[in-house]
């Protein structure tokens, strides 16, 4: 494909805007349609980014012949069904994490992708952050092997607000959304499938109906282990912090920043500015999506590659349900 890739983006909230910002840096790609719930707010965002078509109905955008691909930044519960709708309409699709919150729905997406041959990718951004790419390249070069990953995913979210401090129309979830990042990244970095997984959770919030605290343990077939702590109750610092404990070094990754730790609590910053063409993980994720479309290949973080993550999440959910 040599022509411009025309994109429809669904979801003009906090994460949709991150994609719009990233796409502005990518040549040969144009967002031609914007879909979101609130028409007036969607028009405001569209005007800012020069997007000509605005609607509240995804199907209206899928009917546009000029649309080649769709990026879905919509509520979790819509992801699988909307991905299927995009593929049925003959559009390549990138869906933000998680692919699904019901495993069978994710399996349906994969089956349809395999039938159509279209590009279907999931936004597992950690695979693309320069900090994690640096570690991955070390592993691929045989210079570093993970013994343990220790991960903290912490937010202060006792009300249903998004990253912009605005009310959400849906409820976030520690297991199917936030744990998905680490479950996938651990297997990806270890280069080995997860063979053991355990989880416990705290009390269910009386209004939100979800667990606000969770602890997960993972073991890969090659012996590497991962300990993941998640909370919506943590009053700062916020975000996800990854400690890679390996056979030759210890690293701490904080989004796109990386440090190597030493004895006596010393930290040495690692320059990751040359790892890829950008320091923006979302932009790099989008670049991979569009490159896979142009080159007719499977992208990194394809539905097929990340489905094992959702199989693990499904088993963890079954554990938690059985425990009451």
pLDDT tens string 285-313: 999 999 999 999 999 999 999 999 999 99
Distance between start and end Cα atoms, the chain: 52
In angstroms, the CA 240 to CA 231 distance is 10
For residue 16, is pLDDT > 70?
yes
Q: pLDDT at position 166, please?
A: 62
Q: Which two tokens stand for residue 81?
A: 């069904």
In angstroms, the CA 123 to CA 36 distance is 19
Q: pLDDT at position 161, please?
A: 59
Q: Please give the average per-residue pLDDT across 158-172, as a whole number.
A: 58
Q: Which two tokens stand for residue 137?
A: 């390249």
Phi-psi category of residue 36: left, alpha or beta, with phi > 0 → left and psi -120 to 50 → alpha = beta
pLDDT band at 324 (very low <50, low <70, confident <90, very high): confident
Hunting for tokens 């890829």 — which residue is that?
276
Query: 22-36, 128-142, 216-230, 263-277 — which is least confidently predicted?
Result: 263-277
3-state secondary structure string, 158-179?
CCCECCCCCECCCCCCHHHHHH
The fraction of the chain above a pLDDT of 90, given in percent, is: 85
Task: Determine how many CB atoms are found less than 10 A away from the CB of residue 228.
Answer: 24
Q: Please give the average per-residue pLDDT across 238-265, as a whole number.
A: 92
Q: Which helix (H) or strand (E) holds 114?
A: helix 103-116
Q: Which two tokens stand for residue 295?
A: 């080159």
The residue ranking higher by pLDDT, 217 or 206, is: 217
Residue 236 φ then ψ, to 5°: 85, 155
For residue 245, is pLDDT > 60?
yes
Residues in a beta bridge with 302: 121
Q: pLDDT at position 211, please?
A: 87
In angstroms, the CA 302 to CA 112 distance is 13
């Amino acid at each position: 494909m040599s022509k411009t890739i025309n994109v429809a983006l669904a979801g003009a909230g906090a994460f949709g805007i991150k994609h719009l910002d990233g796409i502005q840096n990518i040549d040969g790609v144009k967002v031609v349609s914007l879909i979101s719930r609130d028409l007036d707010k969607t028009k405001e965002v569209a005007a800012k980014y020069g997007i000509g078509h605005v609607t509240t109905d995804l199907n209206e955008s899928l009917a546009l012949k000029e649309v080649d691909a769709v990026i879905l930044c919509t509520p979790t519960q819509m992801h699988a069904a909307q991905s299927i709708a995009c593929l049925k309409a003959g559009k390549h699709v990138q869906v933000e994490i998680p692919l699904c919150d019901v495993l069978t729905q994710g399996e349906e997406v994969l089956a349809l992708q395999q039938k159509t041959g279209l590009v279907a990718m999931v936004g597992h951004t950690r695979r693309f952050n320069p900090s994690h790419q640096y570690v991955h390249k070390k592993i691929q070069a045989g210079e570093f092997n993970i013994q343990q990953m220790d991960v903290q995913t912490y937010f202060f979210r006792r009300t249903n607000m998004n990253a912009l401090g605005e009310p959400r129309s849906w409820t976030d979830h520690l297991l199917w959304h936030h744990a998905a990042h680490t479950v996938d990244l651990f297997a990806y970095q270890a280069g080995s499938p997860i063979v053991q997984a355990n989880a416990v959770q705290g009390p269910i919030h009386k209004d939100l109906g979800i667990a606000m605290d969770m602890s997960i343990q993972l073991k890969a077939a090659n012996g590497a282990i991962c300990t993941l702590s998640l909370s919506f109750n943590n009053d700062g610092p916020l975000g996800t912090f990854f400690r890679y404990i390996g056979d030759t070094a210890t690293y701490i990754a904080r989004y796109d920043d990386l440090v190597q730790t030493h004895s006596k609590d010393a930290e040495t910053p690692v320059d990751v500015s040359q790892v890829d063409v950008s320091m923006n993980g979302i932009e790099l994720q989008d670049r991979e999506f569009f490159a896979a479309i142009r080159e007719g290949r499977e992208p990194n973080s394809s539905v097929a590659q990340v489905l094992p993550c959702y199989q693990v999440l499904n088993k963890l959910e079954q554990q938690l349900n059985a425990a009451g």
